[in-house]
Amino acid sequence: MSATATGVGVLLRALKLPGFVRTHAEVGEQAEREGWSFERYLGHLAETEIEERRVRRIERLLRASGLPHDKTLSTLDLGRLPTPVRRSLPGLCEGGFVDRAENLLTFGLPGRGKTHAVSAIGHELAQRGYTVLFIPAFKLVQRLLVAKRDLDLETTLRRLDRYDAVILDDLGYVQQSREEMEVLFTFLAERYERKSVLITSNLVFSQWDKIFQDPMTTACAIDRLVHHAVILEMSGKSYRAEAAKGRTGAREGS
Q: 189-231, pLDDT tens digit by residue?
A: 999 999 999 999 998 888 888 787 778 888 998 999 999 999 9
pLDDT at 28 over 90: no
pLDDT at 249 over 80: no
Residue 198 and residue 106 in contact, taking contact as beta carbons nearer than 8 Å: yes
- Give residue 174's pLDDT: 62
Q: Has this prediction a pTM greater than 0.85?
A: no
Kindly list the structural domains of the chain, giving each domain's residue range(s) and its CATH number in brackets, ordered by start: 2-64 (no CATH), 66-242 (3.40.50.300)
User: In the structure, what pLDDT confidence band is assigned to residue 24 with cuts at 50, 70 and 90?
Assistant: confident
